[in-house]
Amino acid sequence: MKNTIIILNKKLSLFFILFISIFGNAQEIGLINNTWYVHSMSINSQIIEAPRFPEMTVQAFFGNNEMLNEMCCSGQLELEITFDNNQSTFEVNNVDTVIENCTNNDLNNFRDLYIDFFQDNTASVFEYDIQELIANMGNYLSLTITNLVGDTVELYNSPHDPQVDYYIFSEYTTWYLTGIIIDGTSHQISYETASQTAVTFSIDGSFNSQICGEIISKAAFINDDGGGAFGSGNFYIPCENIIFIPGDCDDNSLTTIEQHYYSFLQNLVNGNIAIYQRGHADFSDVCGSIEIIELYDSETNSWVFLADCVEPLSTNTFIQNSVVLYPNPVNDILFIQTTDCNPCTVKIYTPNGKLLYKESLKASQDKIDVKELSTGIYFLVMENDIGTKQFQKFVKK
């Protein structure tokens, strides 16, 4: 009996050690697979918020044996580290710094505090902990690094304010350029032109724009206190982070729009901070209630207008919406329920106004097979025989 107990205990011990090892590796993988943005520090129990300026966003990148910190205008910090796979810890073996000075001395002071956090504890062990958090913008990760004296650095795998509206970053959301004003001069964007643009934002800070070519960047949305239901605040591009890959356009107007749009972003790269405002427009024929983002650069009196749906102009009108779609999001069969539309024609559009489906509604409750649709947001419009329409959005998983 004693031998049996010993064998079982050995097996349990082996399982426990294996579990701890896997967990430690998972934590380390979580470190390496993310770009981390410094949010705050706690030094001697005093909370110090990280500066949120285009020229000073501290980004941390982990490798197997290193931690690289890009501090934009104030320099660079590179740590040689050794992970302990059985514990969520690493040891700092060596510290290399490249010191540059920002014009704003507060940014330099924060840099010095951040460097000292690691440099003053060289050859000692740092604990780290990764947690998944939930906020308005969706799920994100926090990383807390603690030194021997209990001081901490808190980082997120997102540069955005956690209270920013999630719809901006949804994997289903594509934004379209619907208007642009540069130096006070308005440049009209037609439906045909807008439908060929695509702008996406991600929780990790990725910000991509496709027009003729592609503009790859990072961006940060920071809420203010008066954002209301949709949110408003500052929008900036950190650390001069932008790549422009030219492309060819058959449409000259699209080429012109791309040039103006890139000019707007370039001013943000150079340090300007735009004001962003989230909202929605009135009901329209295809899109219904259109979600919008307005970006305003007061330094150049320039605007960019984005919408999650574009469509041709029409004079048809909407009635009060009585359409119910379920399940939503949907995998394959979408059920439609209505009381005010008989007979009706059902149409499904993409956000850029492309008609994908058209069929007559057979009864007050009907269904559509949508399993062949790609993942994304779609717009279902029900139109009666006199041209009056009802609208609902749905998400195809």
pLDDT tens digits, 27-80: 667 888 899 999 999 999 999 999 888 877 899 999 989 999 999 888 999 999
The type of residue at 285 is: D
The answer to whether 381 and 390 are in contact (CB under 8 A) is: yes
The answer to whether 73 and 59 are in contact (CB under 8 A) is: no
What was the pLDDT predicted at 130? 94
Structure tokens that stand for 57 in this block: 């966003």
Write down all domains in the chain, each with its CATH number in brackets: 2-156 (2.40.128.270), 166-307 (2.40.128.270), 324-396 (2.60.40.3080)
What was the pLDDT predicted at 43? 96
The answer to whether 136 and 164 are in contact (CB under 8 A) is: yes
Complete DSSP assignment for 171-212: TT--BEEEEEEETTEEE---HHHHTT-EEEE-TTSEEEEESS
The strand pair at 75-84 and 302-307 is best described as unpaired
More confident of the two residues 324 and 150: 150
pLDDT tens digits, 306-325: 999 887 644 444 444 667 88
Alpha helices in the chain (DSSP H): 2-32, 105-119, 191-194, 252-269
pLDDT tens digits, 333-379: 999 887 767 678 888 888 767 789 998 886 666 889 999 998 887 88
